[in-house]
């Protein structure tokens, strides 16, 4: 699945123009070309079952072609090894402006982990350092199970979300807010996309040693085993989550259209 590129937004060096070909854009962070399918994990099939295909784009890794919101029905902002509060990141301002433009334009946004934190910050919430990393299969309680199913979800984060005052807190764990809704937008702190292949991409893309043995090898292997054990249930929960997001997005788009 190739990158999605377009022609809206700020001029970037070497930019060019192409036509938007997908109804959903996923913004990726630090993922090497060719690994898009692995990092999208369960999301690809879940959106496909709702009649939508996913194109990908990244603001990380240097100058990229400009991207357009024209024809985009939904935006998904994926996870990152970086913090959404780190203003030293050279790409963060461009991505923040793009996501803010989507929100202002009424394009429903799903934020995942880093993406949920960015969504919170752009809508009046805050992101704070957590007391400890939340990693592995996490028990999540939900107030709206048709929108965000309860049950164990895979998490891998240190920062915590304080949702905007107008948001609905939909799901929580013992440690943090796990999902919030803000109009047609949805932020989830856990990783509904995660499969064993997703972790493999993270491990090679996000590690400074590019996949060489590291001190947390045992934790990665434990995470892979847990995702393999829960794969069928996680795929089903992700299907429910995406279906709820798409339905909410369709209602919103019908109201504003």
Name the residues annotated as catalytic: 113, 191, 193
Strands 168-172 and 177-182, sheet pairing = antiparallel
- B/e letters for 125-163, b = 16+ CB within 10 Å, e = fewer, are bebeeeeeebeebbebebeeeebbbebbbbbbbebbbbb
Q: Specify which residues 56 forms β-bridges with.
A: 3, 26
Report residue 204 as tokens.
């090679």
Burial of 234 (0-12, 13-18, 19+ CB in 10 A): buried
């Amino acid at each position: 699945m190739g990158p999605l590129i377009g022609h809206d937004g700020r001029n970037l060096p070497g930019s060019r123009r192409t036509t938007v070909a997908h109804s959903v854009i996923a913004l990726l962070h630090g993922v090497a070309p060719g690994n898009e399918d692995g990092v999208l994990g369960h999301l690809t099939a879940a959106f496909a079952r709702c009649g939508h295909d996913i194109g990908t784009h990244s603001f990380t890794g240097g100058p990229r072609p400009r991207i357009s919101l024209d024809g985009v029905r939904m935006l998904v902002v994926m996870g990152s090894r970086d913090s959404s509060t780190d203003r030293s990141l050279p790409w963060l301002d461009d991505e923040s402006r793009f996501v803010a433009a989507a929100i202002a334009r009424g394009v429903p946004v799903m934020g995942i982990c880093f993406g949920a934190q960015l969504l919170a910050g752009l809508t009046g919430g805050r992101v704070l350092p957590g007391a400890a990393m939340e990693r592995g299969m996490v028990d999540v309680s939900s107030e709206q199970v048709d929108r965000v199913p309860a049950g164990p979800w895979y998490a891998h984060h240190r920062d915590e979300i304080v949702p905007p005052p107008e948001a609905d807190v939909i799901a929580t764990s013992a440690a943090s807010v796990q999902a919030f809704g803000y109009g047609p937008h949805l932020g989830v702190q856990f990783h509904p996309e995660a499969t064993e292949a997703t972790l493999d991409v993270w491990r090679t893309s996000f590690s400074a040693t590019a996949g060489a043995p590291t001190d947390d090898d045992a934790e990665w292997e434990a995470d892979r085993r847990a995702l393999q054990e829960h794969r069928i249930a996680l795929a089903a929960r992700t299907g429910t989550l995406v279906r709820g997001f798409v339905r909410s997005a369709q209602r919103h788009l019908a109201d504003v259209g």
